[in-house]
A and B are shown apart, each in its own frame.
Chain A
C-alpha cells in the first residue's frame, strides 16, 4: 500500500499544464504526455485520450503510449477501440509486465464485449466466533409457566451450544448473461449461488444455503429495471430447514456518475420443515413481502457511500412468527488502488411480532415480542499480487486471488430476553473471480 500511495503522490503536478499551452505546442510530445497524465489524474479521460491520440499520430511506434491509450479507451467503455489498440501491440517489444497487462485487459475486453458471458467467483476461508450458537446470557427457570415478569431462576439452558468456536466458510457464485438483440444494455441473466458454514464443535450453527435467480435487465438511458424470479433453500445441521420461491423487481436510476438511486420489491412464499431439533418450524410457513430503497453516492473516484432503508412484512401460519420489520443499512467503500479496498457496513433493524411468543416467555408476560438487531462489519481486502509485489513467487493465476480480513459484530435485543445474544466474528477469506 505504501508503494501505491507513493505512486499516487507522484501524479500530483507541481504546476498544472493549461490547455492554452497545449494549443501553442501541440507537437511537443513530452508536454502532451504530461498533459495526458494530468488529465488522467483529474478524471478528464476524454482529454487524456485526445492527447494520447495526438502523440501517436506523430509517434506511431511509441508502444508504451499506445498501451496506455488502449487502457484509457477501456476506462471510457470504448471496448472496441481499446481492443484494436491492444491488438496492434501483439508481438511488439513490451516489457513482461506490460505484455501481461496487455493480455489481461484484452481478455477482459473480449469477455465483456461478448454477447454471452459467464463469470463467477469462489470463496474459501475460515471464521472464528465468540458465540456462534447465538446463546443468550440469560437463563430460564425450570417452570416457565409460572415465572412472572423477567425474574428467572439461575438455570443454564444452553451450555452445550455456549462458547466460542471456529469454522470453515465456502461460497460460490456463477452468473450467465446474454445480451438482448436490438436492445443496447439490456440482457437476460441466470445466477446460482451457495454458501456453507461449518463449525468445529457447535453443530447448531452449521448452515448452508443455495439460491437460484433469473430475470432480465432492461436498460433505457440511465434507468435499469430488473424483474426476476428466485428460489432459495437453507439447510441447518445438514437438514433442509426452509424453502423460498417468488420474485421481485429491482430498479436503479443513475442521476449522474456520482449518484445512483436504487429500489427493490420482492414477494416470496416460505416453507419450513420441522426437524428433530426444531419440531415447530413449520409454523413459520407463510409469505414475506420485502423492499428496500436507497442511494449510492460516489464522492470521489475512490470513495463511495450507500444508504438504504428496508422493510418487510411476514405473514406466517402462527402469528407468533408474523412480523413487520424495518431498518437501515449504510456502507462505505474505499478503494486504495491496486485492488485494495476497505468496506464498512452498519445495519439496524426493529422487528415487531404480531403476537407474543409463548415459546420464549411466560404466559403471564403479555408483551408482544419486539426485537432490535444491530450489525457492524469491517472488511479489508487486497489481491495477493498487490500484497506480494509483481516479481514474487506467486504463480500467475494466484495474483488476482483476493485475501480479505473481516470482523463482524451482531447483537439482538428483545422483549423475549431468552433469545438475546451478542456475537463477534472474525474471518479470513480467499476469493477468486473467474471469467469463462
Chain B
C-alpha cells in the first residue's frame, strides 16, 4: 500500500489536500517503519525515534505528555520539552539528528520524506533552549528543503551541523562574543553557530553553510565555529563573528556529555586513533601539495647559468670563437 508522494505534489497541495497527502505518505512511511515502531498512531506520522535520553525529557503527542524513553517514536507535531540537566537525541527517518539540551522546547512541524529518492522537507521550531542539528539525506539532497525556525528567525540549512540557543542565554552568549545586544528581545533572540563540515574538513564531505533570515534581513555562515546573532526584534541578524572559548564552554555544558567517574571502556578500540578515525589516511606530514598546484619551473635559472657558462667557453679564444658573444 506504500505510495510514492512526489515532492511537487506536496508543495502544490492546498491545506486540506496537503494534510491528506501527508497522511498518505505518513501511512506508507509508518508501514515502512512499522517493524520497529509498534505503537504508532495512524493519524500522526512517525518522523523518528528517541535515540538517547538523559534526565527529565517529556514528549507531548496531541497534547498528551509522556516521559521520553529510548526507542520511543517521535511523531510529527510532537512537542519536546527538557528540564534541567537533561538532554535528548532524536534520529529522524532521513538520518538527520536533533540533539536537544536542557530547558529546551521544540516541535518538529514539517517532515516529508521519500526514501527512494531522498527527497522531502524537514522543519522544526525551537522556542527556547539549546539544540544541535545535523542534516541528513534531505538536507544533502536538496539544501533548501531543511530549515529550523526560532521565534523570529528562519535558519536555512545546507548539509551541515549547527548549534543554536534561543532566549536570554542567546543574548548573554552574544555579549561574550563582543556583539552589541542593545534592544534584543529575551524571548525571541537566538544565536546560531555553524559547526561543520568546515572548509578545511579532512574528508570528502561538502562544507556546510546556513542562512539566518529575519524580517530585517539575512546573514550567511560558511566557516565553521562562526556565529550569527538574531536580536529577536525584527532587526537583521549580526555579521558572522568567531565563537569564543567562553561561548564554546557554554554550548558544551548544555549539549555534550562530560566524564563523571572513572574510565570505563566496555569494548576495546584501536589504540591508534589516527587509524581508527581515518585521519591518518588524509595526513600529509609535509607540504608536497604545492607540487600539484604550483607548477613552477624550478631550475630555469640553473639551466640559464650553465648555458651562459657554455657560451663563454665556446666564445673564448681557445675555441676560436672570437666573434661569438659579441654579435648578440
Interface residues in chain A, defined as those with a beta carbon under 8 Å from any beta carbon in chain B: 4, 7, 19-20, 22-27, 29-30, 33, 37, 40-41, 43, 45-47, 49-50, 53-54, 56-68, 71-81, 83-85, 88-89, 92-95, 97-98, 101, 105, 112-113, 115, 121, 133-134, 140, 142-145, 157-158, 173, 182, 184-185, 204-205, 207, 209, 219-222, 234, 236-237, 241-242, 252, 254, 256-258, 262, 264, 272, 275, 277-281, 283-284, 292, 294, 296, 298, 301-302, 304, 306, 308, 310, 318, 320, 325, 329, 331, 333, 335, 337-339, 341, 343, 345, 347, 349, 358-360, 363, 379, 381, 383, 390, 400, 402, 412, 418-419, 431-433
Contacts and interface: CB of A to CB of B under 8 A. Distances in A.
* A contact face: mostly helix, strand, loop, or mixed: mixed
A359 B201 contact: no
Interface stretch (B58-66, B149-157, B167-175, B202-210): B202-210
Contacts of A220: 222
Contact of A75 (B199, B264, B275, B279): B279
B47 to A, nearest CB: 11
A63 B252 contact: no
A62 B265 contact: yes
A88 to B, nearest CB: 6
B266 A59 contact: yes
A92 B196 CA distance: 27
A98 B284 contact: no
B260 to A, nearest CB: 6
B325 A133 contact: no
Contacts of A221: 209, 222
Contact of A185 (B223, B268, B327): B223
Contacts of B135: 46
A153 B203 CA distance: 62
B297 to A, nearest CB: 7
B295 interface: yes
Contacts of B5: none
B261 A61 contact: yes
Contacts of A45: 197, 201, 203, 205
Contact of B259 (A63, A115, A140): A63
Across the A-B interface, the 9 shortest Cβ-Cβ residue pairs = A77-B198, A184-B223, A278-B308, A26-B51, A24-B36, A359-B311, A76-B196, A93-B263, A306-B292
B52 A27 contact: yes
Contact of B306 (A20, A79, A204, A308): A204
A81 B256 CA distance: 10
B321 A92 contact: no
Contacts of B256: 53, 56, 81, 84-85
Interface string B251-262: 010001111111
Contact of A121 (B274, B287, B289, B315): B287
Contacts of B200: 77, 112
A47 B140 CA distance: 13
A279 B312 contact: yes
B280 interface: yes
A84 B249 contact: yes
B54 interface: yes
Contacts of B39: none
Contact of A280 (B248, B291, B325): B325
A43 B204 contact: yes
A304 B312 contact: no
Given A57-B52, A339-B283, A78 B224 contact: yes
A92 B263 contact: yes
A134 B328 contact: no
Contacts of A89: 259
A85 B149 CA distance: 28
B224 A77 contact: yes
B208 to A, nearest CB: 9
B198 to A, nearest CB: 3
Contacts of B202: 74-77
Given A50-B89, A78-B195, A308-B293, 18 more contacts: A20-B36, A22-B51, A23-B33, A43-B203, A54-B89, A65-B269, A68-B277, A76-B201, A88-B259, A145-B324, A184-B222, A220-B222, A257-B203, A278-B309, A280-B311, A320-B328, A338-B280, A339-B284
A57 B284 contact: no
Nearest to A122: B286
A278 B201 contact: no
A301 B314 contact: no
Contacts of B284: 335, 339, 341
A206 B313 CA distance: 18
B292 A284 contact: no
Contacts of A67: 273
B2 to A, nearest CB: 15
Contacts of B301: 207, 209, 234, 236, 241-242
B155 to A, nearest CB: 17
Contacts of A63: 259, 263-265
A64 B272 CA distance: 10
B217 interface: no
B265 A257 contact: no
Contacts of A262: 293
A209 B304 CA distance: 14
B119 interface: no
B237 to A, nearest CB: 14
A350 B38 CA distance: 73
Nearest to B287: A121
Contact of B197 (A61, A62, A76): A76
Nearest to B327: A358
Nearest to B99: A53
A75 B311 contact: no
Of B209, B266, B295, B320, most buried by chain A (CB within 10 Å of CB) is B295
Contacts of A306: 292-293
14 contacts: A23-B36, A47-B95, A56-B256, A61-B264, A76-B198, A80-B224, A207-B301, A236-B306, A257-B203, A320-B328, A337-B281, A338-B283, A358-B324, A390-B272
